[in-house]
Amino acid sequence: MRTKFCLGLALICLLGAVAPSWALEFCGENPNVGTFASGFEAGEFASIPEVELPNASTPLSVVVDGPLNGTSIDAATVQIFGSFTGPPNTSVMINNVPAYKVGTLWLAEIPLAAGTNVLTVKAKNMAGIEVSATHTLVRGVEPFPPDPVRLDVTSRIAPFAVNARYDLTGTVIGSVDFDGDGLDDATAGGASAVLPFFYTQPGRYQVRFTLAPSGTFYRYLLAEHPSELRQTFCFVFGHMRDRLIANDIPGALQALVPELQPTFQAIWTSLGSSLVSTAQGLGQIIDGRYSRDTVELLLARPNPANPGTAQVFQVQMARGSDGIWRIVAM
C-alpha cells in the first residue's frame, strides 16, 4: 500500500530537520563517507561498478536480436530480446508489454496468439516520443512438447538468487551454465532437480541447460543495475526541477503521472513569477529506498528559518505500465 503525501503550494511535506552537508546532487550517496546511504541497499552488497546514464539528447532506436524474424515457437509464450538507445528513462515495449532493461539491452517474456504474430517493438522516452520496429514470430501447432527447463525469475535487481529447474523423464544428469561463460555452474543427477545460483553483477545472461541424454536448452535472464536505476530516479526528479527553473511547465509535467498533472499544472501556474525561485529551492536527493517498481526518495533543502538545518520531504515514483518511471506523489 502506497502512502499518500500531501500537496501544497510549496510542493513539500515537512517531515523533520537535518544538518545539511551537500553541495551537489548526491542522489542517495552519502557525501561524508563516499558510499550509498542506508536505504539504497544495493550499495551494501558485493561491489557493483557505477555507470553513467546516456546523454539526454541520445536518439531513439530499437532492435530485436532474437528469436530470429519468422521463427516458429512451440510454446504459448516466448522470450524476446534485443538492444536499444535513448535518453535516460527510455522504455521498451513489445505489443505494449514492458521489457526489462540493463544498459542498452532488453528482455521480455510475452504471450503468443495462435498462428502468425506480428509484434510491434517500441522504444519510448519520457516525453512520449517513440520509434518502432516490427517482428514476426509464429506460434506452432499444439499440442506443444512439455517444457523441461525453467527459471523462477526473468529479471530482478542485482544482486539476487535464482533457482533453475529441470524435469524430464530419462535424464541421467543435468547441468546449468548460469552466466554464459561456457562452464557449468551447477550439476545434479536424476530426472529432475532444482539448482541455485547467485547473480552478483548486472547484465543479460543466456542460461544453458544440458540434460543428458536429451540435449541442450536455453533461457534468458536479466539482472537490472542498481546504479542505473538510482540515477534514473535522479534524472526524473532533476528533469522536473530543471524544467521548472526554465519556466517550462509542460516539460516539467512529463515527470509526473497523468493523474497528478492537472493539479500541479494549476499549482505551478499560480506561482507566477515565483515559480523559478520555488523550483530552485526544491532541494536535493540525499537518500532513497526502492523496489523493482516503486521508489521513495528523501529530499532535503536548507531551512532559512533555522540556519544549519534542512527541511526534509519525500517523493514517490513508480514504474508505469509503459515501463517509464514517473512521480506519483510528493
C-alpha cell at 108: 521480455
- R_g of the chain computed on alpha carbons: 23
CATH number of the domain bearing residue 182: 2.60.40.1930
237 and 323 in a single domain? The answer is: yes
Cα–Cα distance measured from residue 162 to residue 174, given in angstroms and rounded to the nearest whole number = 17
Residue, of 6 and 184, whose pLDDT is higher: 184
What pLDDT, on a 0 to 100 scale, did the predictor assign at position 40? 45
Report pLDDT digits (tens) over 242-276: 999 999 999 999 999 999 999 999 999 999 999 99
| Residue 272 lies in domain | 16-51+226-329
What pLDDT, on a 0 to 100 scale, did the predictor assign at position 298? 85
Longest C-alpha distance within the chain, in Å?
Answer: 76
Cis peptide before 213 (omega within 30 of 0): yes
Residue 238 DSSP label: H
Residue 5 in any domain: the answer is no
Residue 6 in any domain: the answer is no
130 and 163 in a single domain? The answer is: no
Residue 215 in any domain: the answer is yes
When the pLDDT of each residue in the chain is averaged and rounded to a whole number, the result is: 86
Last residue of a domain, one of 223, 257, 275: 223
Residue 240 in any domain: the answer is yes
42 and 71 in a single domain? The answer is: no
**Residue from 148, 93, 127 nearest 236 by CA:** 127
Cα–Cα distance measured from residue 256 to residue 236, given in angstroms and rounded to the nearest whole number = 9
Report pLDDT digits (tens) over 82-131: 999 999 999 999 998 999 999 999 999 999 999 999 999 999 999 999 99
Residue with grid cell 504474430, as numbered in its chain:
117
Contacts of 4 (CB under 8 A, 6+ apart): 329
Residue, of 252 and 289, whose pLDDT is higher: 252
Residue 136 in any domain: the answer is yes
The torsion region of residue 272 among left (phi > 0), alpha (psi -120 to 50) and beta comes to left
What pLDDT, on a 0 to 100 scale, did the predictor assign at position 273? 94
pLDDT at 305 over 90: no
Cα–Cα distance measured from residue 284 to residue 22, given in angstroms and rounded to the nearest whole number = 8
Sheet holding 203-212, edge to edge: 155-157, 215-224, 203-212, 173-177, 186-189
What does DSSP say about strands 294-302 and 310-319: parallel, antiparallel, or unpaired?
antiparallel
Mean pLDDT of all residues in 292-310 = 84
Last residue of a domain, one of 145, 170, 196: 145
Report pLDDT digits (tens) over 7-33: 222 232 233 333 333 333 445 443 344
Residue 241 in any domain: the answer is yes
Mean pLDDT of all residues in 298-325 = 88
192 and 275 in a single domain? The answer is: no
Residue 309 DSSP label: -
Cα–Cα distance measured from residue 175 to residue 189, given in angstroms and rounded to the nearest whole number = 9
N- to C-terminal Cα separation, the chain? 16
pLDDT at 6 over 60: no
User: 51-55, 191-195, 303-307: which has the highest mean pLDDT?
Assistant: 191-195
Last residue of a domain, one of 180, 206, 223: 223
CATH number of the domain bearing residue 102: 2.60.40.10
Residue 122 in any domain: the answer is yes
Residue, of 280 and 117, whose pLDDT is higher: 117
Contact 116, 136 (CB under 8 A): yes
163 and 219 in a single domain? The answer is: yes
Residue 10 in any domain: the answer is no
Domain count, the chain: 3
65 and 98 in a single domain? The answer is: yes
CATH number of the domain bearing residue 310: 3.10.450
Contact 242, 282 (CB under 8 A): no
Pure H helices in the chain: 226-245, 249-253, 261-270, 275-280
What pLDDT, on a 0 to 100 scale, did the predictor assign at position 285? 82
